Structure 1
Amino acid sequence: MTTVQKNISSTDTRSVAAEPIRVLLAAGGTGGHVYPAIAIADAVRMIQQQADILFVGTRDRMEWQAVPKSGYDIKSVWISGFHRRLTPQNLLFPFKLLTSIIQSYSIIRSFKPDIMVACGGFAAGPVGWVAAKLGVPIVLQEQNSYPGVTNRLLAKHAVTIFTAFEGAKQYLPADKIKLSGNPVRGELTTSDRQDALTSFDFDESAPVLLILGGSGGALALNNIMKEKLDELHDGAGLQIIWQCGKRYFSDLKKEIDSDDYPNLRLMEYIDDMPAAYGAADLVVTRAGAGTCSELMILGQPAILVPSPNVAGDHQAKNAASMVEAGAAVLLPEIELEKRFTTEVTALINDSGQLKKMSDAMISLAKPHAANTIAEEIFNIVQKQEV
C-alpha cells in the first residue's frame, strides 16, 4: 500500500503521496457509466500526477475505445448482462460469470490496487465482488436516482457510496452515502451567446430550441418534432437545433427539405456542445443522469421527457428532484402529442420563467463532484494505512 499525505485540503491539487496511489476503476456498457469513471480518474491525476490508474471493462462496449482515448490503460473481462427474457445468450451467462471472476482475480492480484471504484455496468460486478473478497476497499459511484443492479449488489461491500440524486438513498445503505453529484469531465461551459448563435448561423431575432436525443437518438422526440415542425418553425418562429441521432439522421434528412426550414439545424450528432447550450433558450431532452448533471451545472432550463424503457423507470426518478425544485418541466412521453407544442412555445417565450428555472438548476448543481470523490479516495486509502 502507498503512504498518503495527511490532511488533504479540498482545493489542493498537488501530489499528495510519496508513492503513486493505485486505483482500479470498473465501469462499462454506456457513456453514463464510463464517462463519470474517466472524470474521477482525471481528478485523481490532478491531485497526484503519477497515480497508477487501471480500468476494467469489456471489449465489445464503448469503454474499449473511450478509455484508451482518454489516456488510460484498460483490461477486459468476459461478461455481459443477463436478459430478463429467455434467450440463447443467457445459456452462456454462467460461463461468462465464472470466467470474469477468474479474470478479475488475476487483474487484481497483478495490479495490487489500493482502492477499487465501481461506476456501474455489468463489468463492475465481478471485479467489485473479487476486490471485496481480497480485502480491497471499494467505493461506488451511482449516477441515477434508481441504482443499477451492479451497484445494488456491491453496496454491502462498499466503504463509501457517492450518489448524484437524493432519491438513491432509499435503495442503498444510508450510512455509506455521500451526495456528491455526477462527475463531469473537464470544465463544462457554454460558448458566448453571440458566438454560439453565429456558429449555427442564427441571430437574436427569435428564441432557440435545442432538441437532444443523445448519440443514439430518441424515437419519440424525433417523431413529435417531425409532426410539430411546421408549428414550431413557421407558426412559433423558433430557431431549432435538432440532434436526432445516427440511426435516424439519413431518413429524416430525406423527409425534411432544408430549403423549407431555413431556421432548422438537423444534426446527427453535435460536436460543439458548448455552442449548442450557449445558443439555446430551452432544451428538450431525455433525463439520463449525465444530461441532467450538465443541465444543472450550466443552469439550462429544460423540458424533460424521461425514457419509459429503462430499468426502474430511473429517468423519471432523475427528473423528479429537478421538477420539484422548479428547474425543469416534466413531460411524459405518453403526453407528447397533447402537450408538446403548448409547453415549448409557452415556456420559451417566458424570459422570467426561464430565468427562475436557470437559477433553480444552478442551485442543484455539484460541479466539483469528481474532485470530491477523488479526495475521498485518497482519504480512504490513508485511513487503511493508519
Structure 2
Amino acid sequence: MTSTKQHIDAPSGSTLNPLRILLAAGGTGGHVYPAIAIADAVKGVRSDSEILFVGTRDRMEWQAVPSAGYDIKSVWISGFHRRLTPQNLLFPVKLVTSLVQSFSILKRFKPDVVVACGGFAAGPVGWVAAKLGVPLAIQEQNSYPGVTNRILAKHAVKIFTAFEAAEQYLPENKIELTGNPVRNSLKVSDKQDALDHFRFSDDKPVLLILGGSGGAKALNDAMAERLDELHDEYEIQIIWQCGEKYYKNLSTSINEKEYPNLRLLGYIDDMPAAYGAATLVLTRAGASTCSELMIIGKPSVLVPSPNVAGDHQTKNAAAMVDEGASVLISEEELSDAITNKVPALLKDDEKLQNMSQAALKLAKPDAANQIAKQLFELAKRNNSHE
C-alpha cells in the first residue's frame, strides 16, 4: 500500500534538496500516525526524499509503517516499570543494545535530520543522533510530554508542540506550536451518505462512541449499563466501537435484534462515514483523537483515561473544554452522565453548533506541512555549516 501524498509549495525564495529523514516513533497510534503524517508531508515537498522509520518489532508500528509505504528498522527497547518486575532486570541490557543498534542505523542511513515522535524507540535513537551531531527535532503530541521527549528536549534543536500547556515542561526557546500532524486521508462523508451507510434515519441524533483500537473498558461498561435508556427512552442512534478484544463478549451479551438503532463494532472500517453520521462523539482524550475532532469540527464528550502518564489526557481535554469545543466527564461520573447529560446535549442544536465552531477554531490542519517545511530548513542550515 502506498501513502497518499500531497504537493506542498517550498518556502519562498529557497531551493530545497531531497531530505534524508529518520523518524523514531512507537508504541501507540498516538506516536506513530503523526510520524507517518510528517513523512507524507516531507514527500509532498520533495517526492525523492528518503525516509526511514525506527520502532520496535512487537508494537503496532511494525505493521502500520509498512502499510503506509515506508521502511522501518527495529531497536530492542521497552519501558521501565516502576515496580520490580522480571522485565526490569533486562532493561539495562536492552538499553545498551538499543544504543548500539541506533548507532548502526544512523551511521548507515546518514539522515539529514532525526525526528523523535515519542515512544520507547525514540529515546535511544534521538540520544545517539544528538551525540553524532545530527539535528534532532521533537514532535510532542500531548499537553503533558512523555518521559522520552522530556529527556530528549535538551538535545533537540526544535520542538513542535500541539498544546500550549506543553510549554511549561519543555525549553521555551525551542518550541513552536504547530498542532498535531494528522493523516491526509482524514475525511468526513456527506451526512446523508453516512446515515445511509449505517442504515440510520435523519430524524434522530447519532452518538458515536470511540474506544480506540484497543477499546475502553470504562466506556463499554457505562454503555452496556445505560444502553436501554439511550436506545429506547431517548431514541438515540448509536455507533459503538467497543474494541476488538471486547467485541465477542459484548456481541454475545447484547441481542442486537432488540436494538435496531445500534451498530456495535469492534473496529470501524469507514471512519469518514462514522464521523459524517455522528451528531456527537463520546471518546477518550488522546492527542490524535482530539486533533481529529478539531479538524473535522465535531462536538465531543471527552472521558480522559486516568491510567496515563502525567494525567495528560485530562490536560488535552482541558484545552478543548476551555474553548467550548468539548464537555469533560470523568470515569467516575460517566455512567450517570451518559443519561443525564448526553441526551440533553444531543437535543441542543445551538450548543452543538457552537461546539463545532469552537473545535474548528482550535484546529491546525496544516501542522504536518509546516513541520515538513521546517525540517528541510533545519537540514539546509546544518549542511551549510559543515
Write the mapping of 1:66-85 to structure 2, written as runs, cut at 5 A: 66-85=64-83
Answer whether contact 1:13 1:47 (CA < 8 A) is retained: no
2:199 matched to which residue of 1?
A: 201
Question: 1:336, CA displacement in angstroms?
Answer: 1.2
Residues 13 and 280 of structure 1, relative CA distance in 2, 3 Å threshold: farther
Letter in 1 for 2:202: E
Identical amino acids, percent of aligned pairs = 67
Letter in 1 for 2:222: I
Question: 1:13, CA displacement in angstroms?
Answer: 8.9
Pairing 1:225–2:223 present? yes
Distance 2:15 2:23 in 1: 19
Letter in 2 for 1:179: L
Letter in 1 for 2:252: K
Question: 1:291, CA displacement in angstroms?
Answer: 0.4
2:187 matched to which residue of 1?
A: 189
1:301 matched to which residue of 2?
A: 299
Distance 1:301 1:21 in 2: 38
- Aligned residue pairs, count: 377
* 3-state SS of 1:84 partner: coil
Question: 1:65, CA displacement in angstroms?
Answer: 1.0
1:238 matched to which residue of 2?
A: 236
Moved over 3 A (4+): 9-14, 16-19
Distance 1:79 1:57 in 2: 9
Residues 274 and 10 of structure 1, relative CA distance in 2, 3 Å threshold: closer
2:332 matched to which residue of 1?
A: 334
Residues 40 and 97 of structure 1, relative CA distance in 2, 3 Å threshold: same
Pairing 1:170–2:132 present? no
Once the two structures are superposed, what CA deviation does each residue of 1:250-277 show, in whole Å capped at 9, x if it has no partner? 1111111111100000000001001001
Distance 1:180 1:19 in 2: 23
- Please tell me the root mean square deviation across aligned C-alpha atoms, in Å: 1.4
Letter in 2 for 1:155: A
Distance 2:217 2:122 in 1: 30
1:252 matched to which residue of 2?
A: 250
Distance 1:20 1:328 in 2: 41
1:42 matched to which residue of 2?
A: 40
2:3 matched to which residue of 1?
A: none
* 3-state SS of 1:120 partner: coil
Distance 1:227 1:338 in 2: 10
* 3-state SS of 1:144 partner: coil
Q: Normalising to structure 2: TM-score of the pair?
A: 0.96
Residue from 136, 139, 142 that aligns with 1:141: 139
Residue from 313, 316, 333 that aligns with 2:314: 316
Distance 1:338 1:239 in 2: 19
Write the mapping of 1:108-127 to structure 2, written as runs, cut at 5 A: 108-127=106-125
Residues 106 and 17 of structure 1, relative CA distance in 2, 3 Å threshold: farther
Question: 1:339, CA displacement in angstroms?
Answer: 2.0
Answer whether contact 2:8 2:44 (CA < 8 A) is retained: no
Q: Normalising to structure 1: TM-score of the pair?
A: 0.96
Once the two structures are superposed, what CA deviation does each residue of 1:129-172 show, in whole Å capped at 9, x if it has no partner? 00000000000000000000100000001111001111100100
Once the two structures are superposed, what CA deviation does each residue of 1:72-116 show, in whole Å capped at 9, x if it has no partner? 111111111111111000000000000110111111111111100
Letter in 1 for 2:166: A
2:348 matched to which residue of 1?
A: 350
Once the two structures are superposed, what CA deviation does each residue of 1:184-218 show, in whole Å capped at 9, x if it has no partner? 11142210000000000001121111011001111
Gaps of 5+ in 2: 1-6
1:374 matched to which residue of 2?
A: 372
Distance 1:350 1:278 in 2: 18
Answer whether contact 2:16 2:376 (CA < 8 A) is retained: no
